[in-house]
Amino acid sequence: MGGRKVDREMAERLGRNVFLARRRVSLSQEELGARSSLHRTEIGMVESGERLPRVDTLMKLAGALEVRPEALLQGIEWIAPGPPAGGSFLVGAPACEGR
């Protein structure tokens, strides 16, 4: 992922949120790609947790899915570090799962 440190669990949660949002509006990966000006393989990599999207890509996805960006971040929370530890992400099940 471009040499960046990525929290795999966070990338997988975000990918699941994108997948669920896409399925709710009955779009294929190719259709979402066309709507968001992204390639279908990029959509697949985000949904599978292989790629953590940049902010501009997240905004494109949210716009194409007609959801607010925070809907795609549901279940992901940053926990600020306490001295001297580095912070971490808390990933939980999104409220929309199980519907």
pLDDT at 94: 66
Closest listed residue to residue 59, CA positions, set 46, 44, 40: 46
Q: How many CA atoms lie within 13 A of 21 on its CB side?
A: 26
The predicted model scores a pTM of 0.78
CATH of span 8-91: 1.10.260.40
pLDDT of 34 higher than 70: yes
pLDDT of 86 higher than 90: no
pLDDT at 17: 98
pLDDT at 1: 43
Q: Locate tokens 């966070």: which residue?
A: 10
